[in-house]
Amino acid sequence: DIIRKFKIQETTGLNLSDAIQLLEDLVDLEARNLLEREKFKRAGRRALLLPHCARKYMDNRCKAKFEPNIPSYICAHCSEDCLINKAVFLAEGEGYDVYILPGGSCVPKILKSKNYEGVIGVACGKELKLAGKVLESMGIAGQAVPLLKNGCSNTFFNMQTLQRILKKN
């Protein structure tokens, strides 16, 4: 079985059920990325949706300010080695609008107020699946970058994966 062969439980610290769910989510998300890739490449206006839980600091050391009208945190670029800071810098350099979200419930509000043709979402598998349904219902091409560590803080994602998707034009 693939979980044991690649020592997924030992590597991730997840129990068997959660490890299986993680692998299923990754396969599902990659399949959706492949199906949407060409439409995404043709998309004009694009956005990157990032999870606030991947900020380096989840306390007042992070100087990001929350703007409830958007609803998004605005990165203050206060820490060079913050994953969110790096992602914001990369995405804005590629012409993306960037949102740092406190949760998936913010996605519909943002998408309804803008006319995006393509969206990259970084989140846990569950949130990415929910957002995928929202994007599909709105006719927006999506690409997903799953968190490699889930949770409410100290989460992370693969920056190279994000960079590869950002640069696919």
Per residue in 106-157, pLDDT tens?
Answer: 999 999 989 999 999 999 888 999 999 999 999 999 999 998 877 777 788 9
pLDDT in tens, 30-41: 999 999 999 999
Ordered by start, the domain boundaries in the chain are 2-166
User: What is the arrangement of strands in the sheet containing 141-146, beginning at the earlier edge strand?
Assistant: 65-67, 72-74, 97-101, 46-51, 118-123, 141-146
Q: pLDDT band at 169, cuts 50/70/90?
A: low
User: Which pair of structure tokens corresponds to residue 55?
Assistant: 């900020």
Question: Would you say residue 47 has pLDDT above 80?
Answer: yes
DSSP string for the chain:
-HHHHTTHHHHH---HHHHHHHHHHHHHHHHHHHHHHHHHHH--SEEEEEEGGGSS-SSTTS--EEETTTTEEE-----TT-HHHHHHHHHHHTT-EEEEESSTTHHHHHHHHS--SEEEEEE-HHHHHHHHHHHHHHT-EEEEEE-SB-SSSS-B--HHHHHHHHT--
CB 51 within 8 Å of CB 152: no
Q: Does domain 2-166 match CATH 2.60.40?
A: no
Name the percent of the chain lying above pLDDT 70.
Answer: 99
Q: Write down the pLDDT at residue 155.
A: 82
User: What's phi and psi for 79, nearest 5 deg?
Assistant: -140, 115
Indicate the pTM of the whole model: 0.89
Name the percent of the chain lying above pLDDT 90.
Answer: 70
CB 114 within 8 Å of CB 49: no
